[in-house]
Amino acid sequence: MGPVNWLAVFLASALGLAIGLIWNGVLFRNRRQLLPDNSERGGNYGPVGLVLLIGAVMLGHNFARIGIETLSMKPWLYFMQSGGVAIAFVIPAVWLTHLRNRTEPARRIIDCLFWLFAYLAMGLVFWLMR
């Protein structure tokens, strides 16, 4: 097992959070923004950032286990692994939570796509910083 690239871990989680700020702010503005316009209530960017950091730590450990030699020969593994985690674990959890809360289908799809894009972006960071 190789060393975990901790700089990539923190940059990947920061990029995921930045995507969340844009996704829930500019692209799909809603009342559940990560950083709300009104200053009366705080944004929920802290928990989202923590979840993204935990995911990035897991991906960093996973890429260290795979090894730089294998990843150099098969760079698509960065995206298969990061996108696979989103598709197999994160998106079903988000979808089921929205389903239980009776959220409208369009909102479910938008939120699930955010997590897919965020995890693929994290894979991109690890690929660029190999």
On whether residue 62 sits in a domain, the answer given is yes
Domain that holds residue 84: 6-128
On whether residue 58 sits in a domain, the answer given is yes
On whether residue 29 sits in a domain, the answer given is yes
What average pLDDT is seen over the chain?
89
Q: What pLDDT band is residue 44 in, cutting at 50, 70 and 90?
A: confident
Instruction: Give 63-107 pLDDT, tens digit per residue.
Output: 999 999 999 999 999 999 999 999 999 999 999 999 999 999 998
- Neighbour tally for 49: CB within 10 Å: 16
Q: What is the pLDDT of residue 91?
A: 97
Burial, 95: exposed, middle or buried (Cβ in 10 Å; 0-12, 13-18, 19+)? middle
On whether residue 118 sits in a domain, the answer given is yes
Number of folded domains that form the chain: 1
CA–CA distance, 5 with 12 (Å, rounded to integer): 11
Torsion of the alpha carbons at 44, 49, 55 and 60, rounded to the nearest 10:
180
On whether residue 105 sits in a domain, the answer given is yes
Instruction: Give 5-37 pLDDT, tens digit per residue.
Output: 999 999 999 999 999 989 887 777 655 545 445
On whether residue 1 sits in a domain, the answer given is no
